[in-house]
Structure 1
């Protein structure tokens, strides 16, 4: 049944107005705090932490190389000291024996070779270390100069090795602490991102529910709309097929008689108030699992999911008519009544998809007979 556009106006509720996108702000670009932002921040922190770790590990390797180099120098010092001890031992042997003089010369030559190896190793050091003078390597160099050189080299490189070892331990400690800090930071950011993601999902789910509710309900009265009514019909029939149980359901199609005069004489605001008030009474007059829908304008429909006999449907129709009368009397109009058509499945209509159309046709019969009443759809022949 067609309804004139002037019968009623439609107001959008405030929750839906809040969902409308507003004008862009004039304060420029703003950082949005969300999971993506946290993820980018976590990645930056991870990169910074990895860079710092790489620098610390590189420094630790450098200190390790220095420590190993110092160990090599100390090993060369020990060999030179051993050669110096042999020279000292041959000095204690009386020089009358030719073998003693030959042994001393060989020990002195060995000491010179050891010092030359030590000098080559120390002088090639990449670090700033005291060089060994070439004068000590000459044949006429005194043993006292060699002893002083070996003592100084041993003291310096022992200290250098201890310092490098301490630096390696310090670097390793820093690396361990940074790893722990980065792991803790990433864990906290991960938990934060998951929390923000869950919150965003809840917000989106809430908005989705609001949009879904708006798509299936009348924005002014809050009743189900035509789409929701047909979906409920299909759902009831599907449940009956799945569980193989017989189903009896009915649709009461209702049109408000005289409502157009309310809009024309009293204004659309009063008409909207009447529709909201009568809709609340409709919901209160039916069972909880039955559906009251606003089809459009001043047309309503009630889906009765289960009933025992036609008399029960007639009682429901009388209650709906009484709701219209009470609302009319409360608002002091004296001009609005209701015509209702009733169609039931499978008694009067053999196809549940024709329930609404059959109830609409039955409602027209009531209007042709004088309105303000109800009638059942004709039984199939």
Structure 2
């Protein structure tokens, strides 16, 4: 026994590999993102993108402010350079007159005021900038130092303005790219949401169809139940009345034609002796019998006709259209033969069938009473010997 057990047991390495594979599959299933995870990740990305976009726009406005301030400083530099040019003009006059001296002093004073305004503007700059030395802001400052100062200030602020302008262009490009990315993300989120919505609708539609099918069919045999029978009967009766009205209208137009009513019928079937099967052989055999006879019933009638299980061992067949009672009698005989064949197959020798037949609109003129009339005819068969069929107005 021990060697055989060793042969049939799984080798340790192979068992370990199978366990690892199973754990790997479980881990992969656990890591597989669901719709909620995808939606949450997309929302986080959207929020991060919006924060980045807000920061970039704020920086662009700040750079624009710096660029405008650089323009103000450069305007002040231009005014100071104009004042310096005016000093040079007075300085180059040949005559040393009182007028020249007064004009020169006025020009130097104007230059000093321009430089003082420029220094104040530079000092109030929103960004760090080199300040102007106070010694060069007086009317007696060396003009060569003033020229060098104006050149350096002009070069620094022009470079600052160009840098701010380039930074603005770069950040605008980043904003454009981020807007495109956010638009693509929103589009993907919308498509994902629509896909999830459509999938959910398909699931709900499938569940609704399953619930509807379960509500209208017998769980054990799969046949339509009483509710489905009465709904189909009402539909067939209304169609029969409409076709009869149409036929009467046609016959009124053609004198040679006669209006033949569109007739429907219900065959009510009760299994005789079925209770003994459950009592003697058990409910499992009884259920097998019902399933088998249900299949034979379904095969023995037309596809347009409806076979329903009313409950327990009672069935009904809705014949949507027929011409004579002889057709209904043939259907009843086939149904009885189905019960006999099923009984022989299972080996009971106990079960037969009693069938009541009622038709609409003749002799039953109200389709609401059609099933009840067929049930009454079936009980007349039971009282008269069973294993046969009867119409509402006669016993065969």
Q: TM-score, normalised by structure 2?
A: 0.84
Distance 2:240 2:58 in 1: 74
2:279 is aligned with 1:264: yes
Distance 2:262 2:178 in 1: 69
Contact kept? 2:292, 2:342, Cα under 8 Å: yes
Distance 1:291 1:41 in 2: 53
How big is each residue's C-alpha offset from its partner over 1:1-22, in whole Å with a ceiling of 9 and x where there is no partner?
Answer: xxxxxxxxxxxxxxxxxxxxxx
Aligned to 1:233: 233
Of 306, 312, 326, which aligns to 2:327? 312
Contact kept? 1:253, 1:360, Cα under 8 Å: yes
Aligned to 2:263: 248
Aligned to 1:324: 339
2:300 is aligned with 1:285: yes
2:79 is aligned with 1:79: yes
Q: TM-score, normalised by structure 1?
A: 0.87
Contact kept? 2:240, 2:263, Cα under 8 Å: no
Q: CA deviation at 1:89?
A: 2.4
Structure 1: 5+ residue stretches without partners: 1-29
2:361 is aligned with 1:361: no
Match of 1:304, SS state, is strand
Match of 2:362, SS state, is coil
Contact kept? 2:237, 2:264, Cα under 8 Å: no
Match of 1:334, SS state, is coil
How big is each residue's C-alpha offset from its partner over 1:332-353, in whole Å with a ceiling of 9 and x where there is no partner?
Answer: 2221111000000011211000
Contact kept? 2:265, 2:318, Cα under 8 Å: yes
How big is each residue's C-alpha offset from its partner over 1:136-185, in whole Å with a ceiling of 9 and x where there is no partner?
Answer: 11122111221121111111111111111111111111111111111101
Q: Of the two structures, which has the highest relative contact order with CA contacts closer than 8 Å and spacing of 6 or more?
A: 1
Q: CA deviation at 1:38?
A: 5.6
Distance 2:58 2:363 in 1: 89
Aligned to 2:139: 139
Q: CA deviation at 1:100?
A: 2.9
Q: CA deviation at 1:133?
A: 2.1
Flag the 1:80–1:277 CA change in 2: closer, same or farther, 3 A.
same
2:352 is aligned with 1:334: no
Contact kept? 1:221, 1:275, Cα under 8 Å: yes
Structure 2: 5+ residue stretches without partners: 1-30, 247-260
Contact kept? 2:240, 2:264, Cα under 8 Å: no
Aligned to 2:52: 52
Q: CA deviation at 1:287?
A: 1.1
Match of 1:305, SS state, is strand
Once the two structures are superposed, the pairs formed by residues 131-170 of structure 1 within 5 Å of their partners are 131-170=131-170
Aligned to 2:289: 274
Q: CA deviation at 1:120?
A: 1.3
Match of 2:308, SS state, is strand
Distance 1:131 1:84 in 2: 19
Match of 2:321, SS state, is coil
Contact kept? 2:263, 2:320, Cα under 8 Å: yes
Aligned to 2:215: 215
Aligned to 2:203: 203
Aligned length: 349
Q: CA deviation at 1:42?
A: 4.6
2:120 is aligned with 1:105: no
Distance 1:308 1:333 in 2: 36
Match of 1:295, SS state, is strand
Greater helix content: 2
Q: CA deviation at 1:102?
A: 3.1
Of 358, 364, 368, which aligns to 1:343? 358
Aligned to 1:185: 185
Calculate the aligned-residue CA RMSD, in Å: 2.0
Distance 1:32 1:235 in 2: 48
Match of 2:298, SS state, is helix
